[in-house]
Structure 1
Amino acid sequence: MSVCPSSLRAQLLAHAQADPTQGALAQDFIALLDDAADPFVRARLAGHFTGSAWLVSADGRRALLMHHRKLDRWLQPGGHADGEHDLAAVALKEAAEESGLEQLHLEDGQIFDLDRHWIPERGEVPGHWHYDVRYVVRNAGSEAFVINPESLALAWRQVADIANDPASDASLARMARRWLESQERVG
């Protein structure tokens, strides 16, 4: 564990200040962080932390999405913390594992987006909440991805198309809009 929960708390507070639209949600994440049961392990069935990547191309115009096998939806790469407290490291690791891309790096290590979503019951695992902390991960090398067992497909999509596609998952569309706005401020 390379990052302690107080670092995540500081990141959540900074994110809430930078994006007041996610302030209440950030407080929910902080409440989970303060829970006596370990929120970094998937055995905490009331809800637990996950880390995801808004995985963008080198030029920042496209994002890599995966058609998630279990959920049958197009989503960003990500996964369970499994005891790791550094959710940025989780996001980076999951992006690499789920894409096969080898030259990935965290954009700035700051939280990009938060999302709390319900995962339906599957087999013997009851339905539960994922408290997903998302970071920007940029690809700096080949865009030739490798489909893994967790995916039905992978695809590079124009960020603007994701933002404007009514069929996009709501949180994907929100991240796409957030990314486009951040690029306008930079450019």
Structure 2
Amino acid sequence: MIRHAHVLEIVDLYAERFPERAAGLEPLRALIAEGGEVTSRHEFRGHVTCGAVVRDAEGRVLLVHHRALDRWLMPGGHLEAVDRTLLGAAARELAEEVGFPPEALRVPLVWHEVPVHIDRHGIPANPKKGEPAHEHWDFRYLFEVADTAITLQAEEVLDAAWRAPAEHSQQLVDILEAAKAP
């Protein structure tokens, strides 16, 4: 299981890389200081998730059509007990959702432990799962792949597509632009 000390270490590395974003991380630090179990998906004041910004040799980015949210998103999801690092959790989620084995993933050395983006966003209530509306703190890591063949996990993912970043959102364009300059 990922420890809070690891989450705070990664938050510090990210804030050092992106000082202009440091203030936005204070609510996460405060929640941890208050004893919030931010590595548990049952912490409804907010919890950490991990995502993958996956880029192919042509600069396209992998997006998945998320079944529960009915939206095109970057692959990712909740932390699991087997996870030891946030980067490892992002790689695990990528393998689960689209079938990329860890050995097929390349993380640019400069981004090895530092996420290219940490996003705080609201998740709507899910009465089927007994979950109230809550927040995710999504730690997004950059991965590069040579082989773009995917195997979908139909339980969570309806479809996947390789797209130019501008075809998705300005946020994705901004994330990739930030990833160019460590």
TM-score range, shorter chain: 0.7 to 0.9
Q: Please report how far the alpha carbon of residue 179 of structure 1 lies from its aligned counterpart in structure 2 after TM superposition.
A: 1.2
Q: TM-score, normalised by structure 2?
A: 0.84
Which residue of 65, 68, 77 maps to 2:66?
68
Match of 2:42 in 1: 43
AA of the residue aligned to 1:75 = L
Match of 2:25 in 1: 26
AA of the residue aligned to 1:80 = H
Q: How high is the sequence identity, in percent, across the aligned residues?
A: 31
Which has more strand, going by share of residues? 1
Decide whether aligned partners of structure 1 residues 15 and 147 sit closer, same or farther in structure 2, where only a CA change above 3 A counts.
same
d(CA) in 1 for partners of 2:33, 2:123: 22
d(CA) in 1 for partners of 2:158, 2:60: 19
Q: Please report how far the alpha carbon of residue 181 of structure 1 lies from its aligned counterpart in structure 2 after TM superposition.
A: 4.6
2:149 aligned with 1:144 = yes
2:58 aligned with 1:53 = no
**Pairing of 1:97-108 with structure 2 (within 5 A):** 97-102=96-101, 103-107=104-108, 108=112
Decide whether aligned partners of structure 1 residues 85 and 29 sit closer, same or farther in structure 2, where only a CA change above 3 A counts.
farther
- Gap runs ≥5 in structure 2: none
AA of the residue aligned to 1:118 = G
C-alpha contact (below 8 Å) 2:116/2:179 kept by paired residues: no
Kindly indicate whether structure 1 or structure 2 has the higher relative contact order, using CA contacts under 8 Å at least 6 residues apart: 2
Match of 1:134 in 2: 140
Match of 1:165 in 2: none
Q: Please report how far the alpha carbon of residue 161 of structure 1 lies from its aligned counterpart in structure 2 after TM superposition.
A: 3.5
Aligned length: 173
